[in-house]
Chains A and B, each alone.
Chain A
Amino acid sequence: MKLSILLTGVGGHGVLTAASILGKASLKAGYNVLVSEVHGMAQRGGIVNCNVRIGDVYSPLIPKGGADVIISTEPIEALRQIDKANEKTLIITDVNPVIPPTIYFSETSYPEVEKVLEELGRTCKLCAINASELAKEAGNVLAKNVVLLGALSAFDVLPFDSSLLLETIAESLPYKEVNTRAFKLGEEEVRKKYKGINMRRSQTGKRDEIILR
C-alpha cells in the first residue's frame, strides 16, 4: 500500500494542521507515514506545501506525477502543483480565490477561476467545492481545512475508516463541534455532488481505480 497526498494552500489556511491530522490518523491505523513540512518564511501569507506519504514509502517528497491526491485550500495553488499530478490524481480544492496582495505589483494577473478549474479537470479528476462557505456554515471560516478533509474521506481513498480521521480531528483541534460539523459538511457535499457515482476503490484496492468524472 502506498498513498501520496499533497496538501497545498496559503499560509494561515491550516495546511500544516490538516497534514498533521492525516499523519496522526495514519499512525493510529498502524501505517508507516511521512509528513514533510516547510516552515518559516513560507508562513507569512506565502505558499505552504505539505507532502503526506502513507505506507511503503521512503522519501518524504512526492515524485513528479506521483500524487494520488492533491488537496488545496485555493484554486491556483492546486494548479501550481500540477507537476505532481497524473491523469488519475484526485484534486480536491476550494473554489475561492485568495488574491495575492502583491498582485498589484505583478505583471501577471489572477486568472479566471473557471479557467483554472477547467484545466485542473482536464488534467486530473477534479472535485471543486466551496469549502470556505461550508466552513462558515459550520461556524468558522478557518475550518475549511477540515471541510476538505471531510471531502477527502467521502472518496474512500484512505486506507482507514473516515471515523478515525474524525476522531483524530476531535482529539487534536480545539472547537470540536465546529470542526466535526465542518468535516461532515465536506463529506456530505461530495456525496451529494457525485451521487450515483461509484467512488469506492475497486476490489483490487488499487489506487488508480477511483472512479470519478
Chain B
Amino acid sequence: MEIIEAKPGDKLLLLGNEAIARGALEAGVDFVTTYPGTPSSEIADTFSAIAKYLRKKGKEVPFYFEYSVNEKVALEIAAAASFCKLRALTCMKHVGLNVASDALMTYAYVGCRGGHIIVSADDPHCHSSQNEQDNRYYAIFANIPMLEPSNAQEAKEMAKEGMEISEEIGLPLLLRTTTRISHTRGVVEVGELGKPRRKGHFEKDPMMVTVPITARARHPVLIEKMERAEKLSEKSRFNEIIENGGGFGIVASGVSVAHSLEAINMLGIEADILKIGFTNPLPKKLCEKFLEEHDKVLVVEELEPLLEHRLKQIAFDAGLKVEIYGKDSKHFTRLYEYTPDKVADAISKLLNLDFSPSENKPSIDLPQRPPVMCPGCPHRASYYAVKQVAPKDVIYPTDIGCYTLGKYPPLEIADVLLCMGSNAGTACGFSKATDQKIISFMGDSTFFHAGIPAVIDAVHHNHDCVITILDNRTTAMTGHQPHPGVAEGGMGEKVKAVSVEEVVKGLGVKDVHVVDPRDLEKTKEAFRKALNYKGPSVVVCKAPCVLLDLREKRRKGEKIKKYQVNQNKCKKCKVCVLKFGCPAIFFDGEKVMINEEMCTGCGVCAQVCPFNAIEVKE
C-alpha cells in the first residue's frame, strides 16, 4: 500500500483526493470523519482502506476513522477531537456542507484547538450533483480561512500546511477542491508521515458555551483571528505571481490556474499570472501590487465572480485604474466547469487575438447513453411493482442515490428532488396540499442521513403518504461505503447495525411493511395495503445492491444463475424491455434475447413475463 509505505521523496501518481489524505497523514491527523459524496469520496475511502490494511496486518491504526451518519454529525465529531487538541479532517461534497453548516457557523465562533481541515469538494458542471453551488462563499460566510489547490501536489501540501494554519489561527480551515482537482491523478512527491497525538484531553472553558453573552464576546475574537490569517495569507507560498512579462495579467485559483497556463501556451502569448491558493482571507497587498502593475487583468474562476468582485473592491479602495475583466464583462460564464478552450477564447476576445479551435462535430445523430440502473438492481424491481399497483396521478418524490435513475424511461418514477431526505419532507407536504396519492423513495443511507425527521413529522401530523425505503444495505452510488444499517464500520471493525424497520417502528409508524422487492407479488401486495392505509405507511424494500451481492457470490464460489427467453413461448409483447427495462434484455430483430454476460440471475424478469417465457438456463 504505497500511500502509507512510500518514503519521503518518492513520487506517486495520486488522485487529488488521495493526495489530500496523504497530506493529512503527513500532518499527523488523528481523527477523520465523513459522509461520502462524489467528488469527495476517495479521501475518506483512502483512510478506510489504510485502516483495514493495517488491521489485517495486525498493526495499529494511527488514526480514528468513521463514515458518520451525515455531514453535520461528522463535523461535530471531528470538532470534539479538535477541542481535545487532536488534529482532524472532515470531508464531504459541496452540498454536504449545507448539512454541516449549522455546526460550522458557530464552530468558527468557538474556534478549534487541534488543527481541523474541512474539505468541500465542489462539482462545477454537476457531474454527479444536484446543483453547482460555489462553496467558497462558506469560507466568507463562516469567516474561516480557505485554501484551494490547483493540482494534486498542492492538494497534498495544502492538507498538510492547512493543518498548521488552522491550529495556529485557532479556526477550522476550508480546503476547497473541485471535481477536476479531486478526480485528477497527478505526480505527487511525498514527505514524511507525521506523528499523531492519538489521545487528547478536554480542558474546560466557559467561553465554549455559546450563550448570547459568550457569542457576542466570541465574534470580535473571530474577526481578530481572521486579521491574523490575512497576514499568513500575505506571506503564504500558495499565493504567487508567475511572471511572463507584459501588461496583461490573469488572476486565477484552483484548476483555473492550470487552464490559464494551458491557454496562454495554446495562444503563444505572454501573460503574468497571479495564482491565489490562500483564497480567504485574500492577500490584499499582493493583489494590490498585481493590479497596480497591470493595465488589464482577467479573472479566471469557475462559478461565481467571487475573486473578481473582491479584486474590484481592492482596486477601488486603492484608487487603481486597472481594467478588470471576467464575468461582469461577459468574458466568462457563471455556469459549468471551465476548459482550456473557454479560457483561451476569453483571452483572445479580450486581446483581439485569433483563436479558432477545431470544430469537428459528428454528422450522424448519436443516441444518448444515460447511466442506468444495473441489471439485477433491486430498485428496478421495487419500482416495477409500484408502477403495477399505483393509481394514475400518484406523486413520486425521490431522493439522492442510484435510485434517482428511476427518473428515466421506462419506469419514469421520480417527480421531484431537492436534497438528501427531501423525498419524505415533500411527501408530507404533497399529502396535505393535494388529494393525490403519494409514494416517495429514499435509500437506506439517505434515511439515516436526513430522512428520519420527516418520518417523525408524518407520524406526528398523520400525513397520508407512503414512504419507501430502498434498503440495499450500502451507500451504493458513492462507492459502497457502509452506513449505520450495516455491522461493519469504516475501519473494518464490528459495529452495531441499526435496523431501518425498527427505527421506523420506533418513530411511531404503525403501517410498516418489509419486503424483498425481487418477489414482485409480495411487494405489490405491500404497496396495495400501504396505499389503502390512512396515515403514514413505510415500505422497506430490502435486498442487497446487486454489485455487492455478485461480489459476495463470486467470493463464495456460488454459481450465478442465467435466464434465457424460450422463443417458443415468447409472444413478443415486449413488456420485459418496454416496461421493465433491464439492460440485459434486448431485441435481436424481432426476437427478445437476454445478454448472458450481463444477466445477474435475479429472476425478476421471469415474474414480469406474462407468458412464462423467461426461464433459467440449465
Interface residue ranges, A against B (CB under 8 Å): 10-11, 20, 23-24, 27, 32-47, 57-61, 63-66, 76-77, 79-80, 82-86, 99-106, 108-111, 115-116, 119, 123, 141
Question: Which of B61-69, B311-319, B339-347, B600-608 has 4 or more CB atoms under 8 Å from chain A?
Answer: B339-347
* Given A40-B128, A44-B371, 12 other A-B residues pairs in contact with their CB atoms under 8 A: A39-B38, A39-B479, A57-B262, A60-B186, A84-B358, A101-B581, A101-B583, A104-B410, A105-B408, A108-B367, A110-B367, A116-B364
Please determine whether A44 and B266 come into contact, CB atoms closer than 8 angstroms: no
B233-283 at interface with A (beta carbon < 8 Å): 255, 258-259, 261-263, 265-266
Shortest distance between the CB of A119 and any CB in chain B (Å): 6
B188-219: CB near A (< 8 Å → 1, else 0) gives 00000000000000000000000000000000
Please determine whether A44 and B364 come into contact, CB atoms closer than 8 angstroms: no
**Option from B38, B344, B366, B581 in Cβ contact (under 8 Å) with A80:** B366
* A121 CA to B357 CA, complexed, in Å: 20
* A83 CA to B583 CA, complexed, in Å: 29
Shortest distance between the CB of A160 and any CB in chain B (Å): 14
Write the chain B residue with the least CB distance to A77. Answer: B369
**Option from A40, A45, A65, A111 in Cβ contact (under 8 Å) with B357:** A65
**Option from A46, A76, A109 in Cβ contact (under 8 Å) with B370:** A46
Q: Which of A36, A42, A106, A109 has the most CB of B within 10 A?
A: A36
Taking CB atoms, residues of chain B closer than 8 Å to A111 are: 364-366
Given contacts A10-B369, A36-B180, contact A101 B127 (CB under 8 A): no
Please determine whether B13 and A24 come into contact, CB atoms closer than 8 angstroms: yes
Q: Which of B151, B187, B255, B373 has the most CB of A within 10 A?
A: B187
Please determine whether B128 and A108 come into contact, CB atoms closer than 8 angstroms: no
* A115 CA to B362 CA, complexed, in Å: 11
Shortest distance between the CB of B574 and any CB in chain A (Å): 8
User: Can you list 19 A-B contacts with CB-CB less than 8 angstroms, sorted by A residue number?
Assistant: A20-B185, A27-B187, A34-B186, A35-B186, A41-B128, A44-B402, A45-B372, A45-B374, A46-B371, A59-B340, A60-B180, A63-B357, A64-B357, A64-B359, A80-B366, A101-B581, A101-B586, A102-B370, A105-B408
**Option from A10, A63, A104 in Cβ contact (under 8 Å) with B577:** A104
Please determine whether A47 and B357 come into contact, CB atoms closer than 8 angstroms: no
* A179 CA to B224 CA, complexed, in Å: 60
Given contacts A41-B477, A44-B374, A60-B180, contact A106 B360 (CB under 8 A): no
Write the chain A residue with the least CB distance to B15. Answer: A37
Please determine whether A60 and B255 come into contact, CB atoms closer than 8 angstroms: yes
CB of B392 within 8 A of chain A? Answer: no
Interface residue ranges, B against A (CB under 8 Å): 11-13, 15, 38-39, 41-42, 127-128, 151, 179-180, 183-187, 255, 258-259, 261-263, 265-266, 339-341, 344, 357-374, 402, 405, 408-410, 477-479, 577-578, 581-583, 586-587, 597
Please determine whether B370 and A37 come into contact, CB atoms closer than 8 angstroms: no
Please determine whether B184 and A58 come into contact, CB atoms closer than 8 angstroms: no
Please determine whether A100 and B374 come into contact, CB atoms closer than 8 angstroms: no
Shortest distance between the CB of A17 and any CB in chain B (Å): 12
Interface of chain B, main secondary structure:
loop
Please determine whether B127 and A58 come into contact, CB atoms closer than 8 angstroms: no
Please determine whether A109 and B128 come into contact, CB atoms closer than 8 angstroms: no
Please determine whether A59 and B258 come into contact, CB atoms closer than 8 angstroms: yes
Taking CB atoms, residues of chain B closer than 8 Å to A46 are: 369-372
Shortest distance between the CB of B565 and any CB in chain A (Å): 16
Please determine whether A34 and B185 come into contact, CB atoms closer than 8 angstroms: yes
Shortest distance between the CB of A74 and any CB in chain B (Å): 9
Shortest distance between the CB of A18 and any CB in chain B (Å): 13
Given contacts A41-B477, A102-B372, contact A59 B13 (CB under 8 A): no
Please determine whether A45 and B583 come into contact, CB atoms closer than 8 angstroms: yes
Write the chain A residue with the least CB distance to B574. Answer: A104
Please determine whether A64 and B358 come into contact, CB atoms closer than 8 angstroms: yes
Please determine whether A85 and B360 come into contact, CB atoms closer than 8 angstroms: yes
Please determine whether A40 and B477 come into contact, CB atoms closer than 8 angstroms: yes
Write the chain B residue with the least CB distance to A63. Answer: B340
* A34 CA to B479 CA, complexed, in Å: 23
Taking CB atoms, residues of chain A closer than 8 Å to B364 are: 79, 111, 115-116, 119
Please determine whether A83 and B359 come into contact, CB atoms closer than 8 angstroms: yes
**Option from B184, B340, B358 in Cβ contact (under 8 Å) with A83:** B358
Please determine whether A86 and B358 come into contact, CB atoms closer than 8 angstroms: yes
* A20 CA to B11 CA, complexed, in Å: 15
Please determine whether B369 and A39 come into contact, CB atoms closer than 8 angstroms: no
Taking CB atoms, residues of chain B closer than 8 Å to A84 are: 358
Given contacts A24-B13, A35-B13, A40-B128, contact A83 B262 (CB under 8 A): no
Write the chain B residue with the least CB distance to A122. Answer: B363
Please determine whether B372 and A85 come into contact, CB atoms closer than 8 angstroms: no
**Option from B15, B183, B578 in Cβ contact (under 8 Å) with A104:** B578
Please determine whether A58 and B261 come into contact, CB atoms closer than 8 angstroms: yes
Taking CB atoms, residues of chain A closer than 8 Å to B255 are: 59-60
Shortest distance between the CB of A163 and any CB in chain B (Å): 19
* A141 CA to B597 CA, complexed, in Å: 10
Please determine whether B261 and A59 come into contact, CB atoms closer than 8 angstroms: yes
Taking CB atoms, residues of chain B closer than 8 Å to A101 are: 372, 581-583, 586
* A42 CA to B369 CA, complexed, in Å: 10
Shortest distance between the CB of B578 and any CB in chain A (Å): 6
Please determine whether A44 and B365 come into contact, CB atoms closer than 8 angstroms: no
Write the chain B residue with the least CB distance to A120. Answer: B362
* A165 CA to B339 CA, complexed, in Å: 29
**Option from A35, A59, A115 in Cβ contact (under 8 Å) with B262:** A59
* A80 CA to B364 CA, complexed, in Å: 10
Please determine whether A99 and B586 come into contact, CB atoms closer than 8 angstroms: yes
Shortest distance between the CB of B368 and any CB in chain A (Å): 6
Shortest distance between the CB of B581 and any CB in chain A (Å): 7
Taking CB atoms, residues of chain B closer than 8 Å to A57 are: 262
Given contacts A39-B38, A40-B39, A101-B583, contact A108 B365 (CB under 8 A): yes
Please determine whether B265 and A82 come into contact, CB atoms closer than 8 angstroms: no
Shortest distance between the CB of A158 and any CB in chain B (Å): 16
Please determine whether B183 and A42 come into contact, CB atoms closer than 8 angstroms: no
* A192 CA to B115 CA, complexed, in Å: 60
* A119 CA to B255 CA, complexed, in Å: 34
